[in-house]
Structure formats: structure tokens, C-alpha cells
Amino acid sequence: MKSKLLLALLTVTLAGTAIAQVKTEDAIKYRQSGYGFMAWNMARIKANVEGQYNKEEVIKAANAIQAIANSGMGALYPQGSDKGTGWEATRVKPEFFTNKEGVTKVAMAFNKEANEMAKVAATGDAAAVGAQLGKLGGTCKGCHDDFKAKK
Amino acid sequence: MNSKKFHLWDLPTRLFHWLLVLCVLAAVVSGQLGGNLIDWHGRVGLVIVGLLAFRLVWGVVGSSYARFRQFLPTPTRVRAYLRGDWQGEGHNPLGALAVFGLLGLLTAQVVSGLFSNDDIAFVGPLFELVSKNLSNRLTGIHHLLSNLLIGLVVLHIVAIAFYGHVKKQKLVKPMITGWQEGEGESATGGGVLPLIVALAVAAGAVYGASGAWLPEPPPPPPAAETPSW
């Protein structure tokens, strides 16, 4: 009885943390795809702020960024994946894997502003969206500055 | 009332210098802070393009002390200056090295910036003319040069402080008032016509750098509406 309970507990625990094992090359592809897709959505929001504002377009773009931000992309950075090639050679710096605290900080800042972006987009206030886009972009830069290698 | 002084830096040279100071400061701050300031970084960069183009022309057609030929830091002149044998007014040969260094680095800096991208939501005005890969390379160079530039600017300021305190030569005041104390020939040349030419070239450079002449992106395909998905 006791061992059954233990087994059940173990199963639940394992299931709760199950992460699909991904090859490094695929992990790099997935994360590059995520950033590339977010770049499209950032550009969409910017185009709407600078030109004809379409509330629905901005909501779609902001929700897409929010979804990726909250998707747990951190799982796509297995140890050793500072080297390797996805769609192109990865540009993540080795420091990304040694400075956990710094990475967490920039990642959380980004998640916070991405969530805020979705909220602001829902209001349809173009000026507020523009301001929030700047804040969100600033958090992208926060990580690029410290953890993305320059070419 | 017989204090000797002569006209050293013409007004356009001084205006160029102090506007460049403001713009470089604004560019460094906006570039470091990022966010929405990155758009201002781009605009300030275009102003710097204009200032540099103006100065390059003014170095040929401007008044005497502003001309490049007047202060070319040839090895002979630099050696003479280091021996203490150099006689002259305006930029001394070492200062001239800094002037050419700053102008050269700044030119490379604005050119690389025109084609850059930040992988967020900003691209330089001429980004469309190059591949993403080349743009990434130029962006890397832009970052590298910014550090070199800041270093050279610091050296420039330290040198001016050194001349002021140790050698008792006031370099800042003439750059503000245009007048240098002592005996020397006042600057000549650089009249209205050369000024118009330099300003016209500067305006042309800004227009070219702004990408305003680039063809409009092709109109989106005539889909009646964005698909709902």
C-alpha cells in the first residue's frame, strides 16, 4: 500500500516536470524561431503605432509575444548549447550558462513587460502601446547587451 | 588696450564643434538606454552625418585654420612638435591626429549605423540595401567603434585639461569665442559662398543617409482583407 502510494506520488511528480528531450540543434532552432517570430510582432506593433493604428492587429501581435514569453523558453537552453547551429550559428554567450541570476533577472523583466504589453494592447490606446513597446524593447536589449554575442 | 589677439576659429567651425558635442552625447545616451530612445538615436545619427559632411567640406573650403592642409599631422611635423620645435597656431600636430581620428571614427560610426539593426524593432535607414547578415556584422562594428570613440573622446578631454593646467594653454576659450590671445595672423577665407556649398553638401548627405530616396516598398498584394487566422 505504502509503495503503491509512493509510486503514484513519483509518477505525478515526474509527469509534472516532464520536459520533452530536445536535441541541441533543435533547441537552438526553436529558440531562434521564437525570437524571429517575436521580431515580426514587434515590427507589427511599431508599424501600427507609427502609421494607421489597428487595434486588432496590435492585440494579435502583443498576444503572440506574450505567449512566447510565457512558454518557458528557458528549457531551450540546455548546457553546452552556447555552441551549435540551428537556423544559423547561435549567438548566445557562454555567460548565459554561468550567470543564472543575471539571466533570471533579464528574463523576468522581459516576461513582465510582455504581459503588460498584452494588457495595454487590449485598451487600444496607441500612445500607451507606443510607450510600452519602448519598455518591452528595453528588456530585449537588456539581454542582448549581456548575453548575445556581437557579430 | 593693446592686448594682442587674433581670430582663430571661424563661427561655422565652432558651431560644428559644439553641435557635434551635443549630438555625440545624445547619441551615446540614447544608444545605451535603448527602448523608444533608439528612434532618437537614429535621428541624431542623421544630424551627425550632416555635421561630418559639413566639416569635411569645410576642411577644404573653410577659413585658414579650419583647413585640413593647414594642420595635416605629417610625420615631420609630429616629430618636430615632440622635440618642441613646432611653431604654429591652431591644431598642433598631436591635436590634429586626434581631430582626424575623431572625424574618421565618427564617419565609420555613422556609416555602420545607417545599415544596422538591433534585433528588436529598429533598423538603420539604409538597412534595406544590405543583407541581414551584413547588417549584423556592421552592427557589431558599430558597437565596437562606440567604445573606441568614447575612449578617444575621453583622451581628447584629458589632453585639453592637461594643456590647460600643465602647459597653461587655454584651448576651450578660443573654441567658444573664436579669438586666440597672442600674436598670429587672423583666419582668412571661408566666406559666404563656401559656406553655402558646405551646407548644401551636408543637406545632400543627410538626404542620402535618410533613405528617403529609397523606392517605396512594393504595395502589399491585393488581398481584400487580412485572413482571420
Measure CB to CB from residue B34 to each of A57, A138, A148 and give the nearest one. A138
- Total-model pTM: 0.89
The 10s digit of each residue's pLDDT in A40-92 is 999 999 999 999 999 999 999 999 999 999 999 999 999 999 999 999 999 99
| A116 belongs to an annotated ligand binding site | no
CB of B121 within 8 Å of a chain A CB? The answer is: yes
The 10s digit of each residue's pLDDT in B42-71 is 999 999 999 999 999 999 999 999 999 999
DSSP assignment string, A112-135? HHHHHHHHHHHHT-HHHHHHHHHH
| B53 in Cβ contact with B199 (< 8 Å) | no
Amino acid identity, position A119: K
- So what's the pLDDT on residue B223? 63
Interface with chain B: mutation pick from A31, A59, A93, A140, highest number of B CBs within 10 Å: A140
Inter-chain Cβ pairs, chain A and chain B, closer than 8 A: 46
Degrees, nearest 5: CA angle B218-A134-B134: 50
| A90 belongs to an annotated ligand binding site | no
For residues A120 and A132, what is the distance between their CA atoms, to the nearest angstrom? 7
Per-residue pLDDT at A14 exceeds 60: no
Residue in chain B lying closest to A136 (CA): B35
What CATH architecture is A23-147?
Answer: Up-down Bundle (1.20)
Per-residue pLDDT at B1 exceeds 50: no
Q: Among positive and negative, which fits the CA dihedral B114, B115, B117, B121?
A: positive
Which of A14 and A81 is assigned the larger pLDDT?
A: A81
What size, in residues, is chain A?
Answer: 151
Q: How far does chain B reach from its first CA to its final CA, in angstroms?
A: 83
For chain A, which residues make up each domain, given as ranges? 23-147
Confidence of residue A21 (pLDDT cuts 50, 70, 90): confident
Right CATH number for B5-210 from 1.20.1050.10, 3.10.250.10, 1.20.950.20, 3.40.190.10? 1.20.950.20
- So what's the pLDDT on residue B120? 94
Q: How far, in whole angstroms, is CA B107 from its chain's centroid?
A: 7
